[in-house]
Amino acid sequence: MNDLIIKQGKLINGDLIDIVINDGKITAIGPAAAVGLPSIKEIDLHGHYYVSAGWIDAHTHCYPQSPLYYDDPDLIGAACGVTTVVDAGSTGADDIDDFYAVTRKAKTHVYAFLNIARTGICSQNELADLTRIDNIRLQDAVRRHKGFVIGLKARMSKSVVGKNGLQPLIKAKAMQKENRLPLMVHIGSPPPRLEEIADLLTKGDIITHCFNGKPNRILDEAGNLKLIIQRALARGVILDVGHGTESLSFSIAEQAIKFGAHPHMISSDIYQRNRVDGPVHSLATVMTKFLNMGLSPEYILNCVTINAANLLHLPRKGRLERGGDGDITIFDLKNQRIELVDAEGQIRIGTQQFIPIAAIIAGVHIVVAENAAAKNMSAENMPVKNSATGRRIINGIPL
C-alpha cells in the first residue's frame, strides 16, 4: 500500500503525469505510473493543475525567537506552497540549538545558514564587534548540526560591520575552509564596496540581494554589469535574489537580466513584517515578479527547485524523479492582471501569476495554501481521498 498517489498532474510543459510516494520518497512517476496501484491517500488533479518538485526558498528568516527578523516556518513555508525553507543567518552558535529544536516541530523542512556572529542577528550591527566571531564555537555548532546547518552567512553592509570593513568576510572565508560549506554574503550599503567583497568570493559562494538598488548594486553608473561581477560569475559565484524589504529593484533586475545576469536562485528574504505588509508576501509573489520581468515559467521553477537543491547541496530535493524526496508543490499559473511592487515602490502591472494550491511534504503532510480557499480547492477541485473511508481529507480532516 502506497502512502500517496497524485494522478494527472500537469507539468509546466503540459505533459500529464502520475506520482507515487511511499516512505517519504517518489517510488514511481510517469504518464500512467499509478494505474492499478493502491494507496492510503489519492489526489486526482484531472490535468487542471500543475505539479513540480517542492519549492525551496533559499533565503528566509523563520526563527520565531529572533528579536528583529522572525516568523513561523510553516507560515512562510507550507502555507505558501513551499516545502523547504532555509533560514539565512538569524541564528549563530549561541542559539542554533534552540532553533533546531523549534524546526523539529514544523511540517515544512527547515535548514539554516549559520551566522558567523555567534549571537546571530540580535541587533542590526552583529559584526561591528569582532569578538562575536568565534571560530571554535562556530565549528562546534556546524559539527553538532551537520545536515541542518548547510552554510555560513555574513552580512557585509555598513550598518552591520560598522568600522570593521572587510574583516568579518576575511574571517568568514578562513572559517569556511574548515567546514567547506557555502558562504552566503549579504550586500547592502557600503563600505565595504561590492568590488572588495566580490573579489574575495570563490566558486559556490552566494551573493544575496543581488538586484538591490543601493550603491553596492551589480550595475555600474552606465547601467552595465560591473566587471568584478562578470569575473565572479565566471568563477562560479552564485546570484540569489533575496527580495526582502529593501533589496529588489525592478529597474536593476530588468537591466541585469538584459546583460544575461540571470539569478541562479529566486528567494524571498521573507519574515513576518514583509510577509504581512509587503512588498514580499510570499515566494510565489517573488516568482511572479520575475515571470513578469520576462523569465520563463520553466526557468523560474528551476530556480526554486533543482538549482536551489544543487547549489545548497540537498541531493534528493528539487527533483521530480524516482528516489527523490516526496515533496511536491501543486500550483496554478493564471493569466490575470496583477499589480506588483518592488522594494523601492516601483510598480509593474503583470499579466500572469503563480498561485500555490498545496504543499505535499514527504508524501504525508498535505497543506492547502492560502490561495486555495478562494479557488474552493479543499471541497471541490482537489479531492484527497482516504482509501479506508472513501472520504476526502485535507490536512488530516475528513470532509
Q: Average of pLDDT values for 165-175?
A: 98
Is the bond leading into 191 cis (omega within 30 degrees of zero)? yes
Residues annotated in a binding site for Zn(2+): 59, 61, 153, 186, 209, 269
> What is the set of domains in the chain, with CATH numbers?
2-51+356-374 (2.30.40.10), 54-319+336-349 (3.20.20.140)
Contact, 276 vs 260, CB < 8 A?
Answer: no
> Exposure pattern of 344-373 as b/e (b: 16+ CB <10 Å)?
beeeeeeeebbbbbbbbbbbbbbbbbebbe
pLDDT at 160: 98
Longest CA–CA span in the chain (Å) reads 67
Q: Average of pLDDT values for 169-175?
A: 98
Closest CA to 270 of 313, 238, 304, 311: 304
Is the confidence at residue 73, as pLDDT, over 60?
A: yes
Dist. CA 274–CA 14, nearest whole Å: 34
Is the confidence at residue 372, as pLDDT, over 80?
A: no
Dist. CA 215–CA 220, nearest whole Å: 9
Q: Average of pLDDT values for 22-49?
A: 96
Instruction: Give the pLDDT band of residue 339 (cuts 50, 70, 90).
Output: very high
Dist. CA 284–CA 81, nearest whole Å: 8
pLDDT at 369: 79
Helix or strand holding residue 198 (H, E): helix 194-200
Q: Average of pLDDT values for 57-84?
A: 98
pLDDT at 380: 43
Closest CA to 194 of 220, 218, 213: 218
pLDDT at 204: 98
Other CB atoms within a 10 A radius of the CB of residue 143 amount to 10
Relative orientation angle of helices 96-103 and 135-144, to the nearest 10 degrees: 20
Relative orientation angle of helices 135-144 and 167-179, to the nearest 10 degrees: 40
Q: How far apart are the first and last CA of the chain?
A: 22
pLDDT at 379: 33
Is the confidence at residue 100, as pLDDT, over 80?
A: yes
Is the confidence at residue 399, as pLDDT, over 70?
A: no
pLDDT at 391: 39
- 272-288 pLDDT tens trace: 999 999 999 999 999 99
pLDDT at 207: 98
pLDDT at 383: 56
Alpha carbons within 13 A on the beta-carbon side of 23: 4
Instruction: Give the pLDDT band of residue 387 (cuts 50, 70, 90).
Output: low
Is the confidence at residue 99, as pLDDT, over 50?
A: yes
Is the confidence at residue 307, as pLDDT, over 50?
A: yes
Specify whether the backbone of 228 is left (phi greater than 0), alpha (psi in -120 to 50) or beta.
alpha
Residues annotated in a binding site: 59, 61, 153, 186, 209, 269
- Output the average pLDDT for the chain: 94
- 37-51 pLDDT tens trace: 999 999 999 999 999
pLDDT at 392: 42
Q: Average of pLDDT values for 103-131?
A: 98
Dist. CA 339–CA 342, nearest whole Å: 10
Is the bond leading into 279 cis (omega within 30 degrees of zero)? yes
Of the chain, the percentage scoring pLDDT greater than 70 comes to 92
Dist. CA 28–CA 45, nearest whole Å: 17
Q: For the whole model, what pTM was predicted?
A: 0.95
Q: Average of pLDDT values for 317-322?
A: 98
* Cell numbers that stand for 111 in this block: 535548514
3-state SS, residue 311: helix
Instruction: Give the pLDDT band of residue 386 (cuts 50, 70, 90).
Output: low
Q: Average of pLDDT values for 366-389?
A: 58
Strands 183-187 and 206-208: parallel
